[in-house]
A = this chain, B = another copy of it.
Amino acid sequence: MRYGRRVTIEDGGRGTEPAREGLPPGGGEPRSMEPRRQGRPTGHDLERYAGLFAARTRVMKSSAMRDLMALTERPEVISLAGGLPDTSTFERASYAAIQQKVGSESLARALQYGPTEGLAPLKRCIVEVMAQEATHVDPDELLVTTGGQQAIDLVCKTLIDPGDVVVAEGPTYPGAVPTFSSYQADVVQIGLDEDGLRIDRLEETLDRLDREGRRPKFLYTVPTFQNPAGVTMSLPRRRRLVEVARERELLVVEDNPYGMLRYSGEALPTLRSMEGGDFVIYLGTFSKILSPGIRLGWVAAPGPVLEKLNLGKQATDLCSSAFTQIFVATLFEEPGAWLRYVDVVRETYRVRRDAMLEALDEHLGAVASWTVPEGGLFVWATLPDYLDTTDLLARALDRNVAFVPGRGAFLDGRGAQSMRLNFSGVGEADIREGVARIGAVVAEQVALYGSLTGAAPQRQAPAAGADEEEGGRVVHLPPRREPGSGHGAQGPAR
């Protein structure tokens, strides 16, 4: 017997119909094969599909940042909203040299599928990056992800059932909010102050959850140059956190996208590198030290967790881009090249941070308070209680400036008086102009409030207990004192 023999089979009478003549089954007119033009969704369409959507879609929401991206694409808008690195700092000559090498040495591999866990040469780069922050990792403990965002998503996929408790900072990374929501997590947010996460409040909350019989699946934290607050967890708090985690068997998800972007102050150890950091799942990314366009991040996790993350990734996107993994690996082949690039962006952003802090002082000093970050990409500014930054954004966009309203960093509507300001994405002049425009909008609203109530403009002073994590109160983060900066109007120490 051979292939190619037609086997007659029972198939309900339709299998023997002519397959190529263009006749519909059961006779009738041949249908048009013209390309079909689909219309825009209508109310009827929405109704049609509503019954099919999964329950998670009812709580899924758009990230505040993503929504703003469309609005801020207009060239006349100065966007302090994004978390965009300045990718124009990457040298064309360097790019050309790397791609020349990729093309001649590893093209077929770059264009091919790779293993789910990531290519071995890229894992070696990650080991090198983490070593720069004195954090040892074995390549076998790594999973390469499609950006840091996928790392968060996979952790949620692995650990969260609907209704499970996740503990996070309040405010937390606005991009994690839709992820937590999409897994229907119950997110409990703990206040921050100038020394980062309030561990005392964390312990109180863990006690309460314990009494309620609810074990949090993990704590999500950005300990260094927090997004969006800009604050950094102090060393004593890091130690206490690791202790608490061990005592309570609490998984800690340490998200560290900005650790290498320090502009002042002294480096602190990562949670994962600390004695007792067994319960730390570490998330890293190349987005801020190299490029977000390459979509490469990673997770370093204990073996049993890593295995589940890998299964989750297989189902999600098979593997991350070999094309971009090879690009990074080739860049790393030149000793020190990546570190020189980090130096370039660090110096660029340091100057921009200083420009932003000076501009805030000039244009919002009378009414707002804000954090003074030692690194990273963001300042968190807080306005008087009677202002709402979500309302303010519409007015700001009228003046061609954008920021992320504070509510985007909470899951419960808090943050209404605050805003996240980014200083990495635009140049010094635009930062100054952008802050001036925000200052003008705020001044207008403050004056309006004053004329309505007779109250004099007053700077928002963070008060004791103002960072209550319960009860819907707004979180106020006080400004951080920079060593040596004194009380004057001079820029922060470097």
Contact = CB atoms under 8 A, between A and B. Distances in A.
A10 B113 contact: no
A54 interface: yes
Interface in A282-333: 287, 290-295, 302-305, 307-308, 311-312, 314-324, 326-327
Nearest to A292: B113
A31 B274 contact: yes
B66 A87 contact: no
A12 B323 CA distance: 50
Interface in A8-27: 8-15, 17-25
Contacts of A1: 365-366, 369, 459, 461
A163 to B, nearest CB: 11
A18 B195 CA distance: 10
A366 B23 CA distance: 37
A99 interface: yes
Nearest to A131: B35
A201 B12 CA distance: 8
Nearest to A357: B3
Contacts of A206: none
Contact of A481 (B4, B312, B327): B4
Contacts of A326: 293
Chain A: interface residue count, which band?
Answer: 35 or more
A7 interface: yes
Contacts of A264: none
A256 interface: no
Main SS of chain A's interface residues?
Answer: loop
A236 B295 contact: no
Interface stretch (A90-98, A408-416, A435-443, A446-454): A90-98
A269 interface: yes
Nearest to A37: B136
A167 B317 CA distance: 21
A124 interface: no
A175 interface: yes
Nearest to A113: B292
Contact of A33 (B38, B113, B273): B273
Contact of A36 (B273, B464, B465): B273
B153 A315 contact: yes
29 contacts: A1-B366, A1-B459, A1-B461, A4-B481, A5-B479, A5-B487, A6-B478, A6-B481, A7-B461, A18-B236, A20-B235, A32-B275, A36-B273, A38-B136, A40-B303, A45-B303, A48-B304, A52-B218, A57-B308, A60-B311, A61-B311, A95-B102, A113-B293, A147-B317, A149-B317, A157-B182, A295-B321, A317-B317, A323-B324
Given A31-B239, A62-B314, 18 more contacts: A1-B459, A2-B488, A3-B357, A3-B370, A5-B487, A14-B200, A15-B193, A24-B240, A33-B273, A35-B134, A38-B278, A56-B157, A57-B158, A99-B103, A111-B292, A149-B316, A182-B316, A291-B323
